Amino acid sequence: MRVIGVGLGRTGTTSLRVALEQLGFGPCYHMFNIVEEPRRIHHWLDAAEGRPVDWTKVFAGFTSVVDFPAAAFWRELVAHYPDAKVVLTVRDPQRWYDSAAATIFKKAVEAESRPAAGRLAFRLATKISPDLGAFTRMVRTAIQQRVFDGRVADRDHAVKVFERHNRDVMLEVPADRLLVYDVAEGWGPLCSFLGVPVPDGPFPHGNDAESFRRDEGRRMRRMAARSVLFRASR
């Protein structure tokens, strides 16, 4: 592992993933890898529920990692990979929450006002697709509960957690090992920190809120379909 991204989700982690891979620090592990390969869900359930985890096995084949759920275990990863450089992606806290509430927290925020019929339909969907059920449990346990005490719908609380997370990283990771980075800064700070040349072409930007909303349903449907087809073939 050469680079650990410890910024919380919705701080430009997808853009950082693409940038790291373009700079030669890939493959880069991201939440998308878990959606595409649901067998990985159980690694994070084990970690969140206190069972032993072999991080070397979890990240076999990867040379960098960003985004949730890894960011929820940043202390463990920073300690396990002492030679890895650490990148803390940051953004304005209020804008971060706006983005998170519209994307990664959206279902949890909506659940508080979801009609009983909607809750029942979702439970049935997770029963039909064990992968979808396990993924939902992983997100709730490893991210919403572990990081935000289950209060992602509480804006003030979530923003305080976000600010505390960034502060803790800056206090605990040695300055010569850490880059505090806003992806809006582009290639310069990242390339300087990693000791690589600035590539030709613009810095990548991806997975904005609109793209996330457009693609999330497709990703979840694909996960559910894989699970149903696997069960049918047994």
CA separation, residue 22 to residues 50, 63, 88, 181, 224 (Å): 35, 13, 19, 17, 31
Res 99: pLDDT: 95
DSSP single-letter state for residue 40: G
Res 107: pLDDT: 75
Res 207: pLDDT: 56
Domain 3-233: CATH class, spelled out: alpha beta
Whether the predicted pLDDT of 175 surpasses 90: yes
User: Per residue in 23-79, pLDDT tens?
Assistant: 999 999 999 999 999 999 999 999 999 999 999 999 999 999 999 999 999 999 999
Q: What is the pTM of this model?
A: 0.85
Average pLDDT value for residue range 79-98: 98
Whether the predicted pLDDT of 227 surpasses 70: no
Res 119: pLDDT: 44
Percent of the chain with pLDDT over 90: 74
Angle (nearest 5°) at CA 38 between 50 and 229: 140
User: Per residue in 191-216, pLDDT tens?
Assistant: 999 999 999 999 998 755 565 555 55
- Give me the residues paired with residue 178 across strands: 86
Res 212: pLDDT: 54
**Shortest CA distance to 160 belongs to which of 221, 204, 97, 98?**
97
User: Across the chain, what does the average pLDDT equal?
Assistant: 86
Res 128: pLDDT: 45
- Using CB atoms within 10 A of its CB, is residue 140 exposed (0-12), middle (13-18) or buried (19+)? middle
Whether the predicted pLDDT of 93 surpasses 80: yes
User: Per residue in 6-33, pLDDT tens?
Assistant: 999 999 999 999 999 999 999 999 999 9
Residue 96's pLDDT band, with cuts at 50, 70 and 90, is very high
DSSP 80-119: H-TTSEEEEE---HHHHHHHHHHTTTHHHHHHTT--HHHH
When comparing pLDDT for 122 and 19, which is higher?
19
Average pLDDT value for residue range 101-126: 61
Would you put residue 227 in left (φ > 0), alpha (ψ -120 to 50) or beta?
alpha
Percent of the chain with pLDDT over 70: 79
Res 120: pLDDT: 45
